[in-house]
Amino acid sequence: MILNALPTEFQQAKPIIDTIEAAGYEAYFVGGSVRDTILGKPIHDVDIATSAFPAEVKGLFKRTVDTGIEHGTVMILDHGQGYETTTFRTESGYQDFRRPDQVTFVRSLKEDLKRRDFTINALAMRADGEVIDLFDGLADLQAGVLRAVGVAEDRFHEDALRMMRAVRFASQLGFTIEADTQQAITDNAALLTKIAVERTRVEWEKLLMGQQPVRGLQALVATDLYRYMPQMAAQHAMLTQLIALPAWHLPTIESTWTLLAWLMKLPDGAAIRQLLKAWKTSNELIDHVVAAWTALNALQQHGELQPMALFKTGLAALTTANTVATILGFGQPQAKLTAAYTALPIQDKRDLALNGGDLIKQKIVTPGPQMGQILAQLLTAVVTGQVANEPQALTELARMVADTKND
Ligand SMILES: Nc1ccn([C@@H]2O[C@H](COP(=O)(O)OP(=O)(O)OP(=O)(O)O)[C@@H](O)[C@H]2O)c(=O)n1
Ligand SMILES: [Mg+2]
C-alpha cells in the first residue's frame, strides 16, 4: 500500500528520513501517526524509527537533544520542530510489568515492530508513503480489530498499561478487541495495579472522551479490568448505567470526572475530592469538578442557577455542568446559561468597586475578620443586584453593615 498526499507533518519530516537513508541506514515513520493517517484522522506527532544507533543519528544532524538516549531516543531539531527518532530495539526483562529491564539496539525493522502492542500500531511507513505491514495491521485496521502482536499475554506482561490502551483505542477508533487479546486482558487484569495511577488515568480519560466510549466501557466491564482501577471495584452498576445512557460524547477531562462523580452518587464535595485524590489529578481539576458538580445539582433541582451560584461556579465549570446535564437529560441551552452569567453585574471579586483598602481609609473598619465579612456582604449585594457597583453606594452600604455589626 502506498499513501499519496501525505499530511504536512510527514512532508516536513521527510528530509530527516532522507538524511538518515543517504548515510546508509533505514528510517521509517512508525506508531500512531501512520495508523491515524491510514484511518484518515488528523495526527499530532510523528515518530521515526531507524536502524542507526543513537550516536550515529547524532552524528548526522547539527542539533539534537538526548531526550531518552538510554532507550535509543534522540530528538532531532529541524526548522523549529522536534522529531523523536528511536533506534530499532528489542526489549527484555519486564519484571515489574511496566518497562523492560534491558533494551538492545538492533538493525532489523521486524525485530522492532514485533515488540509493539497492537498490529495496527506495528505499521511502518517509508518517506515516500509506502506502508510496511509485517503483522497484518492493515487488515485489522480495515476490519476495525485490535489484535496484540504475537502472543497477547506476553505483550501485556511487558507493559500492563497496554490493557488500558486496548480499551482506550476501542473507544477512540470504535474497534472491536479480538477474542484472544480480550481473553488475555481478562486473565491479566489484576496486573493493572502495577501501573502508576497517572498513566492509567490518562488512558481512562481518553477512553471516556473517545468517539465510541461505550465500546471501550463494554470491554472494560467484560474483562473486569475496571475492578483494578482506583476506587472502581464496586462500580459495576455505575458503569452499566453509563453504558445505557442515550448516545453521549464528553468533550473535556473536566466533564468526564463530573459525570462519573454524579453517577457514582457521591454525597458531597469532600467525597469528590477523595475520589480525585486517589486518581492523582491536579488540585485545579478537583476545584473545577466540585464546582461543576455543585452547579449540576442546582440545574437538576431548579433548572437554573441563582446569581450568587452562577458567580461562584464561574463560566468554565458552568459549561462543564451543562454539558453533563445535557447528557443526563436536564441540560439548558448553553446560550441561555452563558447569557445569565454574562449579565451578572460583576464576574470577579476584583471587579468590586470598593476594596479592603478603601474600607480602612474611610475608617469603616479596621483590618481583621470583620473586614472580610463586610466585603462578602458587599459582593453578594452587588452580584444579586441589590446595590449598584459604585464606590459611593458601596461605601454607604458598608457603613450600614458595620454599624449593625457594632451594635
Ligand atoms: N505501551 C506501549 C506504548 C506504545 N507502544 C508503541 O509505541 C507507539 C507510540 O506510542 P504512543 O505515542 O504512546 O501511542 P500511539 O499509538 O501513537 O497513540 P496516540 O495516538 O495516543 O499517541 C505505539 O503506536 C506502539 O507501536 C507500545 O508498543 N506499547
Ligand atoms: Mg503517539
Q: Give the pLDDT confidence of 343-381 residue by residue, as tens digits.
A: 999 999 999 999 999 999 999 998 888 999 999 999 999
For the cut 80, the answer to whether the pLDDT of residue 39 exceeds it is yes
HSE value, Cβ hemisphere, 13 Å, CA-based, for 166:
40
Angle between helices 179-188 and 213-222 (to 10 degrees): 60
Q: Whose CA is nearest to atom 14 of ligand 1?
A: 32
DSSP string covering 223-259: TTGGGGSTT-TT-HHHHHHHHHSSS----SHHHHHHH
The predicted complex's ipTM stands at 0.99
Ligand nearest to the CA of 91: 1
32 lines ligand 1 (CB under 6 A): yes
Nearest Cα residue to 311 out of 285, 356, 349: 349
CB atoms within 5 A of ion ligand 2 belong to: 32
The pLDDT tens digits of the residues spanning 274-304 come to 999 999 999 999 999 999 999 999 999 999 9
Ligand nearest to the CA of 46: 2
Residue with cell 498490529: 119
- Mean pLDDT for all residues in the chain: 96
Mean pLDDT value of segment 68-87: 93
* Residues 6 or more apart in contact with residue 367 via CB below 8 angstroms: 356, 360
The pTM of the full predicted model, rounded to 2 decimals, is: 0.94
Q: What is the pLDDT of residue 92?
A: 86
Q: Could you give the CA distance from residue 16 to residue 221 in angstroms, rounded to a whole number?
A: 44
Cβ neighbours around 141 below 10 Å, total: 21
Domains and CATH numbers, the chain: 1-143 (3.30.460.10), 153-244 (1.10.110.30), 251-344 (1.20.58.560), 351-406 (1.10.246)
203 lines ligand 1 (CB under 6 A): no
110: part of which helix (H) or strand (E)? helix 109-113
Q: Whose CA is nearest to atom 6 of ligand 1?
A: 116
Q: Whose CA is nearest to atom 28 of ligand 1?
A: 116
Q: What is the pLDDT of residue 17?
A: 97
DSSP string covering 268-281: SHHHHHHHHHHTT-
For the cut 80, the answer to whether the pLDDT of residue 406 exceeds it is no
Q: Could you give the CA distance from residue 291 to residue 383 in angstroms, rounded to a whole number?
A: 18
Cβ neighbours around 187 below 10 Å, total: 14
The pLDDT tens digits of the residues spanning 92-134 come to 887 888 888 889 999 999 999 999 999 999 999 999 999 999 9
Instruction: Please report which confidence band the pLDDT of residue 80 belongs to, taking 50, 70 and 90 as the band edges.
Output: confident
More confident position, 91 or 179:
179
5: helix, strand or coil: coil
Atom of ligand 1 nearest to the CA of 45: 22
| Residue 13 · residue 46 · CB < 8 Å | yes
31 lines ligand 1 (CB under 6 A): yes
The pLDDT tens digits of the residues spanning 242-254 come to 999 999 999 999 9
Least confident of 67-81, 89-103, 118-132, 211-225: 89-103
Q: What is the pLDDT of residue 94?
A: 75
Q: What is the pLDDT of residue 79?
A: 84
Instruction: Please report which confidence band the pLDDT of residue 389 belongs to, taking 50, 70 and 90 as the band edges.
Output: very high
